[in-house]
Amino acid sequence: MIFKMMNHPKESIMKKLIRRKVVLLAIILIAVFNFNQLFAHLNSFSSIVKSERNKVVHITTSSIVDNRHFFNDPFFEKFFKNIPKNMPKKKRESALGSGFFISHDGYILTNNHVVARADKIEVVLFNDKKYNAKVVGNDKMTDLALLKIDIENHDYAELGDSDELEVGDWVLAIGNPLGLDHSVTSGIISAKERGVFGNSVAYGQFLQTDAAINPGNSGGPLYNMDGKVVGINSAIVASGQGLGFAIPSNLAKKIFKQLMKNGKVVRGYFGVIPQELDEELAKSFGLPEGTGGIILTRVDDDTPAYKAGLKQGDIIVEIEGKKIIKEGQFRQYIAETMPGESLSVKVFRQGKFFQKSVKVSKRPDDEVASFTGVSQDFGMQLVKLNNDLRSQLDVNFEYGLYVYDVDPTEIAWEKGIRKGDIILEARNNKLKSNDDFQEVVKECRKLKIPVNLLVYRNGNVNFVALPIDYNR
């Protein structure tokens, strides 16, 4: 008799269960191994630090400061009556910052505010060697500056893709906080596209991080976990904790290349003032639901936008097929377009979409010498508000004179007017030009009365009376 061997049903089920348990155990072991690898990676940044710390530099600057800023300040004089007559009028001050190599032949990227007023710049490497540095170029709008030292074949940092960053990603900062060389801190990306200084600095595109950043970190690199620079540490909120801000690397890439080539940045210009749309505003203009854009609150005459037929109240929804929903995004797109190039713009107006081609021109320079109609009186340098200034200052006044500078030895300083103020009115007359201001001054001189000014500063307005020399 032949017996056919057959598996018992219970035995077959047991084997299947065992096989499943073995497979499950293998999966768990692999997962645990990978987690341990990941945990070890996050628990130690030593490999990145060892690779990158010699590419980060300590920057020391010195500059000569005019003490008269203090001696002629009424607040200073109120509490310090007996100022020594032999007190020097000028003194030398020093400041600290950070930076990092972006080329093998000695180009170093840092913040503009680190070196802006310096007449001497010293760079200290990781090996303690010191070099004198010169400024190749700087850009106030993005707070970036490019330095150069005489060195060859030095390791340099690689700029990564900041657009790939996600909120919650780990980052690492290396710098010289409070002069403590090559300190390392870590944290995460807390937010993106932060307009901490409005849209006038870095187009409101700052990265926010909780990695510890302190004075002296400015200009230092912010690394991702691949050891690539994704941000340039720039600012902190002193009244808070874990609130640091960095300039995105993708913005820095375009800036430093122009600085290296030309020593300055050339920007595109439309000649408009944009405003972001909220849901209510979009609905009031009849914009279809789900469509974003920015609305033009002003289009200046004889500008690229004006020549292309754009009007106040137009809503720009796309540029070159890319959706535009943020004011800073719009400003950056235009600024990074080279003058002479044309952009295809999708516009919504009175219920209809249509395309416009706008030929971008060169943005006016920010320096005083380039402004038309600069006047000086009472120790103030006054500049007529134009579209470019409105964009930088993030204001929408249709009139006013911008105080570009104030002589600390003159009456305007004594009465509290400071650089950055906007004089809106003089003796109840709206100031649309420097000539308007001079006419009011002449009138007040005849009447032998002070000039009454309405001054805007940081969201507030105040009246200031300036005495006049009636004998002039």
Length of the chain, in residues: 472
CA distance 128 to 122: 12
Q: Which of 403, 408, 446, 407 is nearest to 427 (CA)?
A: 446
Query: Measured between alpha carbons, how far is residue 107 from residues 14, 102, 161, 172, 177 in Å?
Result: 69, 6, 20, 22, 22
Burial of 205 by CB count in 10 Å (0-12 exposed, 13-18 middle, 19+ buried)?
A: buried
Among 58, 98, 113, 391, the one annotated catalytic: 113
Among 162, 190, 200, 218, the one annotated catalytic: 218
Q: Is residue 218 annotated as a catalytic residue, yes or no?
A: yes
Among 139, 143, 388, 421, the one annotated catalytic: 143
Q: Which of 404, 435, 437, 408 is nearest to 421 (CA)?
A: 404
Yes or no: say if 59 and 219 are a contact pair by the CB < 8 Å rule: yes
Query: Measured between alpha carbons, how far is residue 436 from residues 139, 375, 389 in Å?
Result: 33, 11, 19
Q: Is residue 143 annotated as a catalytic residue, yes or no?
A: yes
Burial of 310 by CB count in 10 Å (0-12 exposed, 13-18 middle, 19+ buried)?
A: buried
CA distance 23 to 378: 85
> Catalytic residues, which ones?
113, 143, 218
